[in-house]
Amino acid sequence: MSADNLEAKARAAWGADIEPLLERLDGEGEGLVARAESWSTINSGSFELPGLAAMRVTLLDTVSELPAPPEVVDLQPSQRVRPDGEVIDVQHGASIRVRVRPDAPIQVALTGHYDTVFPASHPFQAPWREGEMLRGPGVADMKGGIAVMLAALKAFERLPGEKRIGYEVLLSPDEEIGSMGSAPLLAELGKRAHLGLTYEPAMADGALVDQRKGSANFHLAVRGRAAHVGRAFSDGRNAVLAAADAAMSLNRLNGQRDGVTFNIGAIDGGGAVNVVPERAVLRFNIRVPDAESAIWAEAEVRRIARETGERDGIDAHLHGGFTRPPKPLNDQQRTMVAWTRQAGSALGLDLQFRPSGGVCEGNNLAAAGCPNIDTLGPCGGGLHSDEEFAVISSFAERAKLSFLLLAGVERGVFDVRSLRS
């Protein structure tokens, strides 16, 4: 039996009427690439509010093709610790939300982000094609993913028959900075949905992610006492030194618990070398494999912060926490992986899954009880660098994969009752 016949046999459970829809998605591949290429020309760095607004206008026009009107949801500001230790509000762009058939018995969450890591001042601004690769800011992470998501949804809406699936699309402007503003929306959505589909890029070789570590960002603001190093050195209390000692204490925690890492990212502070520095901010990240490790790590961080503040003449204030809880490979996740592999087999794909230390909106959905596959975008690599690329041929391929997941839930190929009641 030929490969095409094997794929057709594997697709039989979905019904013969999916074939023209799959063929149509094949024909839309170039259009999806061109859409991601066009969107890549709009700088939408996480802190670039005008660029985010321009991208949002473009997306609002595109999502209007879905059978429900989009909403613009303003986000609450988050807080940032300045280098001098002062806490300020940070404004975010707005999220886009589309709710289709919200009263349907099965609800699916589809999430993505339209911000990138590249500010307007970064030289990496324009996309270009290079053989089988589309290069450019956000082409994989994740404007290409949004294009794939919307194509799959439009194909799903063409599926004959009355739908028993409703879904909510949530496109956010702040994923690259931890989803601080959109986190409440993600949590609410995760509680409502039976399953989630998120459109981070798959790996360059086509593999997807099945589990993720959790991530925390902390900022320890330290205040000492300034003094002239020549006249009153002993009167000073060195905030940079206190922050450095705290950094060393954190670093010594590495290796004490499997899979837990403490990374010292930066120490802000100091100035003139003839002044005992009064202020410093220690910034660090923690990655953990499970909830128990997160509890242990946070307790250790708070102990070190407390001990720093107990030093003579030193005040220390801890800010931050776990913005992305761990996403373990539990029974519900294993079911989602099995479904995705089955849908891939129907397309002739032998999909592989790997764990990742990276984090995304899939962590947030899972923490709210929503099992999900979070790498359903096009295949790509070079993320967060000027080497970013997406594989051109994977746009149509991954749109078909998402379509089969949605159609499989709709037609009972996949039993949602095995995920959550």
Of the pLDDT bands very low, low, confident and very high (cuts 50, 70, 90), residue 5 is low
The CA-atom distances, in angstroms, between 148 and each of 12, 160, 199, 309, 374 are: 24, 21, 8, 50, 13
Averaged over 231-255, what is the pLDDT?
98
Give residue 417's pLDDT.
83
pTM of the model as a whole: 0.94
Quick one: the chain helix, strand, coil %, rounded to 5?
35, 25, 35
Give residue 179's pLDDT.
95
3-class DSSP state for residue 159?
coil
For a pLDDT cut of 90, what percent of the chain falls above it?
A: 95
Q: Tell me how far the alpha carbon of residue 351 is from its chain's centroid.
A: 21
Give residue 2's pLDDT.
56
Q: Which CATH class is domain 218-324?
A: alpha beta
User: What pLDDT digit, counting tens, does each position of 196-235 carry?
Assistant: 999 999 999 999 999 999 999 999 999 999 999 999 999 9
- Conformation bin of residue 297: beta by default, left when phi > 0, alpha when psi is -120 to 50: alpha
Is 66's pLDDT higher than 80?
yes
Q: Lowest-confidence range among 76-85, 106-115, 297-306?
A: 76-85
Tokens 């002739």 identify what position? 348
Is 3's pLDDT higher than 80?
no
User: What pLDDT digit, counting tens, does each position of 260-310 carry?
Assistant: 999 999 999 999 999 999 999 999 999 999 999 999 999 999 999 999 999
Residue 275 CB: number of other CB atoms within 10 A?
Answer: 13
Give residue 7's pLDDT.
73
User: What pLDDT digit, counting tens, does each position of 261-273 carry?
Assistant: 999 999 999 999 9
- Domain limits of the chain? 3-213+327-418, 218-324
Of the pLDDT bands very low, low, confident and very high (cuts 50, 70, 90), residue 182 is very high
Reported as half-sphere exposure (CB side, CA atoms, 13 A), residue 391 has a value of 17
Give residue 9's pLDDT.
74
User: What pLDDT digit, counting tens, does each position of 19-41 carry?
Assistant: 999 999 999 999 999 999 999 99
Rounded CA separation 357/314 (Å): 35
DSSP letter for each residue of 173-229: S-GGGT-TTTHHHHHHHHHH-SEEEEBPEEPTTS-EEEEE-EEEEEEEEEE-B-EET
Of the pLDDT bands very low, low, confident and very high (cuts 50, 70, 90), residue 8 is confident
Largest alpha-carbon pair distance within the chain?
89
DSSP summary character for residue 16: G
Contact indicator for 83, 164 with CB cutoff of 8 Å? no
Domain 3-213+327-418 indexed as CATH 2.40.30.10: no
Is 421's pLDDT higher than 70?
no
